[in-house]
A and B are shown apart, each in its own frame.
Chain A
Amino acid sequence: AQTVTQSQPEMSVQEAETVTLSCTYDTSESDYYLFWYKQPPSRQMILVIRQEAYKQQNATENRFSVNFQKAAKSFSLKISDSQLGDAAMYFCAYRSANGGGADGLTFGKGTHLIIQP
């Protein structure tokens, strides 16, 4: 079974600065997908960014980028120019590419990101 570990229960950053959230995972599979989801106080789950394990290039979405280190099984999220609206719980998630990609997600316990004005 796969596991996902987020070692930072809480992080705090000044507005406009850069913050990196850590995620490591354990798997014996070679093909899989990784996701970062944001959960604001409204409890909605919002996709931030995704990465296919077979792609060496790190994914980027505007101010959000990842550092994907497949050999180290690490998938960190970097948020640049932090904004007050970025304050939320952030979850790292893993999905196997087996089973047609329809298996459920395995989530980490989350990192609570605080933005200081």
Chain B
Amino acid sequence: DGGITQSPKYLFRKEGQNVTLSCEQNLNHDAMYWYRQDPGQGLRLIYYSQIVNDFQKGDIAEGYSVSREKKESFPLTVTSAQKNPTAFYLCASVGWGLLNQPQHFGDGTRLSIL
């Protein structure tokens, strides 16, 4: 079945440590996205990529980095510069040119501080 796979489901970060969240899709979608969800808040856009080797900052990109070396993969690194990384992270994708199509979401990764 086609879909988006996020791993791991739970992740713990120590002080000063960088951690990487994985997002893989087999939907042949061009555009991929990372969102952060905090309690009482909606999802907020961190980064997005419309094509391979290109990506743009979203509303809350500080303390995060991404890469898009392959169409199916869009990993998110939470760096030590992100002082409040505890949140639920969701990856999404959509096909290029499918303007009225919704984004498909993965099941998310919950990141906590040790």
Enumerate chain A interface residues (CB-CB to B < 8 A).
4, 6, 9, 33, 35, 37, 42-45, 47, 50, 52, 91, 93, 97, 99-110
* B33: interface (CB < 8 Å): yes
CB pair B105–A105 under 8 Å, yes or no, is no
Q: Enumerate 9 A-B pairs (CB-CB under 8 Å) in ascending A order.
A: A43-B107, A44-B107, A93-B43, A101-B99, A104-B33, A105-B43, A107-B44, A108-B42, A109-B42
The count of residues in chain B whose C-beta lies closer than 8 Å to any C-beta of chain A is: 28
User: Considering the complex, which residues of chain B in the window 1-56 have a beta carbon less than 8 Å from any beta carbon of chain A?
Assistant: 30-31, 33, 35, 40-45, 48, 50
Which residue of the partner chain A has the closest CB to B50? A102
CB pair B99–A97 under 8 Å, yes or no, is yes
Residues of chain B lying within 8 A (CB to CB) of residue A44: 105, 107-108
Which residue of the partner chain A has the closest CB to B30? A102
Q: How far is the CA of A96 from the CA of B106 in the complex (A)?
A: 22
Enumerate chain B interface residues (CB-CB to A < 8 A).
30-31, 33, 35, 40-45, 48, 50, 58, 88, 90, 92, 94, 96-103, 105, 107-108
Given known A-B contacts A35-B102, A102-B30, A43 and B88 have beta carbons under 8 A apart: yes
Contact among B30, B42, B90 for A4, CB-based, below 8 A: B42
**A79: min CB distance to chain B, Å:** 18
A-B pairs, 9 with minimum CB distance:
A107-B42, A101-B99, A104-B45, A45-B105, A102-B31, A47-B102, A107-B43, A102-B50, A109-B42
- 14 further contact pairs, Cβ within 8 A, besides A93-B43, A109-B40, A110-B41: A6-B42, A9-B40, A44-B107, A45-B90, A47-B102, A50-B100, A101-B99, A102-B30, A102-B50, A102-B94, A104-B33, A107-B35, A107-B43, A109-B42
